[in-house]
Chain A
Amino acid sequence: MKTGMLKISPGFEDIMPPEYRELVDNGPYGKNYGIGDLGSYKELLEEHPLCAGCGLALSLRLTLASLPMPEDTVIVGSTGCSALAFPQVALHNIHSLFGNQNAVASGLKRALKLRFPDKEKDVVVIAGDGATADIGLDMVMQSWLRREKITTIMLDNEAYANTGGQESGMSMQGAVLNMAPTGKKFPKLSLPEIAQTCGCAYVAAASPAKPKQLAKVVRRAILVAREIGPTYVQLYSPCPTNYKFNPKETVSLIKQREKDGLYQSKEYISQEAKAFLESIEVKK
């Protein structure tokens, strides 16, 4: 995309909202900023209505700041808490029907390839665990089996948070939630392993407790999807509201879970993806 398209028509500067002006003057388009630059530029996300201390909001913010080419990225979202933040994101984004996100993203990626054959356009799915691992799992897996060149990012808060706290396939066994008062009866689904089996060229599990690692895996996943095939990133993003912990403990809770062996960061890279990443990461 030409970043000039973002410029405000002369004479209209004073009537544009201040947030928009700030984005035009001080936003990240075309500047190759990363999470290390946060705090020094206008972010892609504006004030959002997600709860105080929301782990998912933190993951989303860090993910947006890690996009290799935001001006040429389209995000496909799904219904859920993250969908409430997307109206505030200064990025092309599509709200799909709950669970349809990977089917929509597949069509979009193909259409963009036809429309802009000489230009890279990144299509990134960002959706909750219910949308990814339960209701949308069929379409998610089928997009991987078809080797669609898209990145799927799951914001894993281990619940259907936006509908008041049902258990999801990603909740831990025994997890007690508002609408699962006797505790979940089955273990947490291991989607990274499924992603790997279904042919994802790059798979990672990370969390916002290690922002640099999160940024690295998001970036790698998007670059590998561009060149090779489907990629999957799972971001553990605890929900203080439904899991009823103090909002200031979101990050310490992840660290505690890691210590207890209940959360593990992971990275799987196919041979082809490894060779590709080595070629671009050495060059830098």
Chain B
Amino acid sequence: MYLSVRVDKEKCIGCKICITSCPEPNVFIFLPEQKLVEVNESRCKACGLCTTVCAKEALKIG
């Protein structure tokens, strides 16, 4: 399995900061009903930028 960012759905509050901090297009998908984000793992390059901006520590590279 490739390295990719993983979202902890318990911690994510859907602030969307990770979405505007990711250099790759269409990696984060916002789920408006649940108010959290989902990841398209096949597009993530695992740079980790999103993990440094998420104030809720909801993101981890693994």
Q: Which A residues are closer than 8 A to B by beta carbons?
A: 35-36, 38-40, 42-48, 50, 52-55, 57-58, 61-62, 208, 211, 240, 246-252
Contact = CB atoms under 8 A, between A and B. Distances in A.
Interface string B34-62: 00010000010111110111000000000
A77 to B, nearest CB: 17
Interface residues of B, number: 23
A247 B49 contact: yes
Closest 7 CB pairs of A and B: A248-B48, A53-B47, A39-B30, A52-B47, A57-B23, A52-B45, A211-B20
B57 to A, nearest CB: 14
Contacts of B51: 248
A247 B51 CA distance: 11
A47 B25 contact: yes
B49 A248 contact: yes
B25 A39 contact: no
A240 B32 CA distance: 33
B30 A53 contact: no
B28 A53 contact: no
A248 B52 contact: yes
A55 B23 CA distance: 7
Q: For A50, A240, A247, which residue has the most chain B Cβ atoms within 10 angstroms?
A: A247
A48 B26 CA distance: 11
Contacts of B45: 52-53
B29 A39 contact: yes
